[in-house]
Amino acid sequence: MARELQLMKGNEAIARAMIASGTDGYFGYPITPQSEVMETLMAEKPWETTGMTVLQAESEVASINMVYGGAATGKKVATSSSSPGISLMQEGLTYLAGAEIPCLVVNVMRGGPGLGTIQPSQSDYFQSTKGGGHGDYQLYTLAPASVQEMYDFVFDAWDIAFKYRNPVLILSDGAIGQCMEKLYTRDYIPRWTEEERRKNAPWGTWGKPATRDHNIITSLELDSARQEVFNHKLQAKYAEMKEKEVRYEMLNCEDADYIIVAYGSSSRIAMKAMQMAREKGIKVGLFRLITLFPFPTKQLAEVAAHVKGILCVEMSAGQMSEDRALRPLRRYHPHSRRGPGGS
Amino acid sequence: MNQDIEARKQELLKEGYEEVYTRTKVLTDAVMHYCPGCGHGTTHRLIAEVIDEMGIQDNVVGVSPVGCSVLAYNYFDVDFQEAAHGRAPAVATAIKRLNPDTFVFTYQGDGDLAAIGTAETIHAANRGENMTMIFVNNGIYGMTGGQMAPTTLVGMRSATTPYGRRVDLNGYPLRMTELLSTLPGTYYVTRQSVQNPAAVRKAKAAIRKAFENQRR
């Protein structure tokens, strides 16, 4: 499929981007408001076209471990879910991070805690950017604000995941997942050939040829000194991401007296508020976060130094505005508008 | 040390001795951590011999999750994944589905396969996943020091049933082999033992059959 203008839901865009980006496998479990991801994949039958495997698992616990098994053979494997299901996946995610397995996980957030609600929310910010599971690890976290970005970020996710051997999280929400917007599709990227897999993932477990040692995928290290060395290696990887892979968007920040900091669907609302303020002559700018980890701390601080005030807008009780990454801004007395999602 | 053994072997062969049995190359030289008397060493060897005899060392992926066999990847000279506790059947499902020509096996204990991973076990079997699950049942959680497992027999003492397993407190031991045999997706399920040479031979034949069933 070539570049083409289409109208579709955010969840459908995720599914179509998976097929178009050469994804090898998807394993999922139904949960509102993201069930259209697997429904679209099943309806499209990509196993008949690109050869992509799609399987409905018995639980989110199983689906994230299927991602582990499949991705550890050096293939592009993904799953998607919504907040309660993502909570169930936290064990799998820390194993994936600990074994340094590239993969893609999509969270179409809904309100919590507990079973919460099926309405949109952004209250998984801490879970996504501050660990979630046990141990010192980070997921590269992308926050799409449009159906187009739902689609595009799937392609970007594979580049980052394999470059850093790290899981990538697309942190969306029920509003972006469910809304329909126009979308430009991309040219199909074929799934990797056997040669490409072996070149791009020499660490993968696909059967040991006589020419190399056996490849082992594990997050276990009983020697604590070696585990410490490994953790330093992980931290160096995250530091490199902070240095090289930060993404953000600045709108009208050059002359702004005030800036709004937001991501995902909140940034869409903030954009409209910015336009309305500008019409009234109030110089408001928008600093939109695209990567939540790594957080654009340095870039945001540079902007914040020249404004009178900062407004953090998010659909949670203030998780993003409480982020330590925003600490350098406190001296500018930011006022945080806090409101939990799902209402 | 291994060079010494190899040198001595060559000497003996020159003296006219015949080699009738040797350790399979599918096992590494690593010293196993298993407790004396445990059947893991034997079971490892049987699987390794089957892989060797089938000539599939370059086309097999093993999965061992948490438990006594968590370090199995150090002993098998094949590509190996260590999985989260109980999740090996899910992990292996994806390995096989994405690599249908590769032989895939899991190596799981009773706490892993029959307690924390019961759902993954039953659903993988019921989907008819084309893979081999080796279930090593010692009736106990060995790695953590001998607590009650789902397969601990009634009356059997363990670290968490110091006066013996009581049905009124702990229920009955779970009979996984019988349970799995009732599922339409299960192709071959058998219970074997490694307690004497005759049993070891039968167990090896069963492992061979379970691996041969993966041929497409």
> Is the pLDDT assigned to residue A343 strictly greater than 50?
no
What does DSSP say about strands A248-251 and A284-289: parallel, antiparallel, or unpaired? Answer: antiparallel
Per-residue pLDDT tens over the stretch A288-324: 999 999 999 999 989 988 898 888 899 998 899 888 7
The architecture of the domain spanning A5-184 is: 3-Layer(aba) Sandwich (3.40)
| Chain A interface test: which of B91, B106, B130 (most A C-beta within 10 Å) | B91
Q: Which residues of B touch A68 (CB under 8 A)?
A: 81, 83-84, 87, 91, 94
Cβ separation A218–B73 shorter than 8 A: yes
Per-residue pLDDT tens over the stretch A44-53: 999 999 999 9
> How many C-beta atoms surround the C-beta of residue A298 within 10 A?
12
Rounded mean pLDDT, A51-65? 98
Per-residue pLDDT tens over the stretch B115-173: 999 999 999 999 999 999 999 999 999 999 999 999 999 999 999 999 999 999 999 99
Lowest mean pLDDT among A9-23, A243-257, A303-317: A303-317
The architecture of the domain spanning A250-338 is: 3-Layer(aba) Sandwich (3.40)
- Cβ burial of A204 (10 Å; 0-12, 13-18, 19+) is buried
Per the omega criterion (within 30 degrees of 0), is the bond before A167 cis? no
Rounded mean pLDDT, A190-218? 96
Q: What is the least distance, in Å, from the CA of A104 to any CA of chain B?
A: 15
Residues carrying CATH 3.40.50.920, chain A: 250-338
> How many C-beta atoms surround the C-beta of residue B50 within 10 A?
25
| Chain B interface test: which of A54, A55, A64, A66 (most B C-beta within 10 Å) | A66
- Chain B positions with Cβ closer than 8 Å to A: 57-61, 63, 70-71, 73, 76-84, 87, 90-95, 97-99, 102, 119-120, 123
Mean pLDDT of chain A: 94
Domain B33-147+175-212 has CATH 1.10.760.10: no
Alpha-carbon dihedral A139, A140, A145, A146, rounded to 10 degrees:
-100
Q: Which residues of A touch B79 (CB under 8 A)?
A: 205-208, 214-216
Q: Which pLDDT belongs to residue A110?
A: 97
Number of inter-chain CB pairs under 8 A, A vs B = 126
> Is the pLDDT assigned to residue A128 strictly greater than 60?
yes
Cβ separation A208–B77 shorter than 8 A: yes
**Does residue A172 contact residue A124 with C-beta atoms inside 8 Å?**
no
| Chain A interface test: which of B75, B81, B106 (most A C-beta within 10 Å) | B81
Tokens of A51: 């050869």
Chain position carrying tokens 């806090």: A338
Q: What is the least distance, in Å, from the CA of B131 to any CA of chain A?
A: 13
Cβ separation B119–A58 shorter than 8 A: yes
> Is the pLDDT assigned to residue A238 strictly greater than 90?
yes
Q: Which residues of A touch B57 (CB under 8 A)?
A: 208
Q: How many CA atoms lie within 13 A of B119 on its CB side?
A: 11
Cβ separation A67–B123 shorter than 8 A: no
Low-confidence ranges of chain B (pLDDT < 70): 1-2, 216
> Is the pLDDT assigned to residue A1 strictly greater than 60?
no
Map residue B39 onto helix, strand or coil: coil
Measured distance CA(B216)–CA(B213) in Å, rounded: 8
Cβ separation A55–B97 shorter than 8 A: yes
Q: Which residues of A touch B60 (CB under 8 A)?
A: 207
| Furthest CA-CA distance within chain B | 66
Cβ separation A66–B94 shorter than 8 A: yes
Cβ separation B83–A214 shorter than 8 A: no
β-pair partners for A108: A172
DSSP state of A115: T
Chain position carrying tokens 């660490």: A203
Choose among B192, B191, B214: nearest CA to B201: B192
Residues carrying CATH 3.40.50.970, chain A: 5-184
Chain B neighbours among A 196-225 (CB < 8 Å)?
205-210, 214-220, 222
Q: Which residues of B touch A24 (CB under 8 A)?
A: 98
Q: Which residues of A touch B70 (CB under 8 A)?
A: 220
Q: Which residues of A touch B92 (CB under 8 A)?
A: 69
**Is A25 an interface residue toward B (CB < 8 Å)?**
yes
Rounded mean pLDDT, A75-101? 98
Give the start-to-end residue ranges of the domains of chain B: 33-147+175-212
- Cβ burial of A183 (10 Å; 0-12, 13-18, 19+) is buried
Q: Which pLDDT belongs to residue A288?
A: 98
Q: Which pLDDT belongs to residue A306?
A: 87
Please name the member of B73, B80, B83 whose beta carbon is closest to the beta carbon of A68: B83
Q: What is the least distance, in Å, from the CA of A231 to any CA of chain B?
A: 18
Q: Which pLDDT belongs to residue B79?
A: 98
Tokens of A102: 């590239």
**Does residue A288 contact residue A145 with C-beta atoms inside 8 Å?**
yes
Cβ separation A218–B81 shorter than 8 A: yes
Q: Which pLDDT belongs to residue A243?
A: 97
Percent of chain A with pLDDT over 70: 95
